Amino acid sequence: MKKLLAAIAATVLSLSSAFAQSVPSPTIAAKSWLLLDATSNQVLASNEPDMRIEPASLTKLMTAYVAFTAIQDKKLDLNQMITISTNAWKVDPSSSKMFIEPRVPVKVNDLLYGLIVQSGNDAAVAIAEAVAGTEDAFVALMNREAERMGMKSTHFANPHGLPSASNYSTARDLSVLASHLINDHPEFYKIYSTKEYTYNNIKQPNRNRLLWLDPTVDGMKTGYTQGAGYCLISTAKRPNGTGERRLISVVLGTISDQARAQESQKLLNWGFLNFDTVKLYAKNEPIATPNVWKGTQNTVKIGFTRDVYVTVPKGVANSMKPVLARKDPLVAPIDKNSQVGTIKVMSADGKVVSELPVLALEQVGQAGLFGRALDSIRLWVH
């Protein structure tokens, strides 16, 4: 099932992104960048999205994801006290830290805020050791999650993002990670909108300037090393019809702290101004009930196991036309969630906006010997 959902997401991404490119892309002053509509899972625009880059502190998104999963699985508790190791305390003293001290216990909750808001490299190591015992064991978990998410051009070498030749990613992969973090751990995502945090009597601001400049921005993470340049993954949620839509921008390798904020804001504004996201179908809502042959029932409900959205240029939504192609004849047995057809969403000028697998929403068993024989005759005549 997970593989099927991943295939559906990939299909939407690859087909509809080409359609989105009919709107001229903005000029973004960065080495690599990408804008993802997280509601429809469509890439709206990108430049060098598969360029291998040094992710710097953007690495901490995966560190947080693994920690959130450990808390969700009850392997770690927010109120649990963690004794800080010398290894965590002595991490590069010239880098960003939350200023934890060796052998002084710290709450897991404080470590998370230190990791996310203060971008503490010491917090990253402390969390890694709390979850997996050692940094190396934790890094193995990070890479396992990256593989599961389909981050094919990513490898993590440490939990903090300090320079390493074997710590690398791409704008495309980082957008996938950001989307997973938001969708899989919404209960923790609010931490990313926290503007400042105090630990050990030291108050530090969140380095994401957009949290102050744009009230619709609620995350996500900055990164900087000399090799990476100034990087920012930012995300905003704004009104969309009767609901809301979320965009995620990944801007990598700008020349300054100010530039990464400006270019990210430009990219987000471009996406919201030029596109609409439309809900096509609701989760588990039948879009048709075609006939079934040789089954314990005569029809089957077909549709989607998730809400289906598509993002299109402004003014195009009303002209879209869905075309259903079924795998007829549908012969039992039919497994629930198996693919039974395809929906192609066409624009007015005949372009394919998206193409989605249509699934059986219910199980249909095989009829008895007499029923199967009767339908065999009917099929032959049909």
Query: What is the number of alpha carbons within 13 Å of residue 319 lying toward its C-beta?
Result: 12
From the CB of residue 283, how many other CB atoms can be counted at a distance below 10 Å? 11
Residue where the block lists tokens 């290894």: 87
Query: Which residues belong to the active site?
Result: 57, 60, 119
Q: What letter does residue 60 receive in the DSSP assignment?
A: H
How far does the chain reach from its first CA to its final CA, in angstroms?
Answer: 34
- Asked whether 91 and 61 are in contact (CB, 8 A), the reply is no
How open is the CA angle 164-118-236, to the nearest 5 degrees? 95
**Cα–Cα distances in angstroms (integers) from residue 311 to residues 7, 20, 239, 245, in the given order:** 18, 8, 14, 10
The residue whose two tokens read 């549908």 is: 330
Nearest CA to 54 out of 219, 254, 224 is that of 224
Look up residue 37 and give its two tokens. 């509509």
Joined together, the tokens standing for residue 43 give 């890439």
- Give dist(CA 149, CA 39) in Å, integer: 17
* Rounded Cα gap, residues 382 and 380, in angstroms: 5
Side chain identity, residue 302: I
Q: Of 364, 361, 359, which Cα lies nearest the Cα of 298?
A: 364
What are 312's two structure tokens? Answer: 């299109």
In 29-77, where does DSSP find H-type helix? 60-72
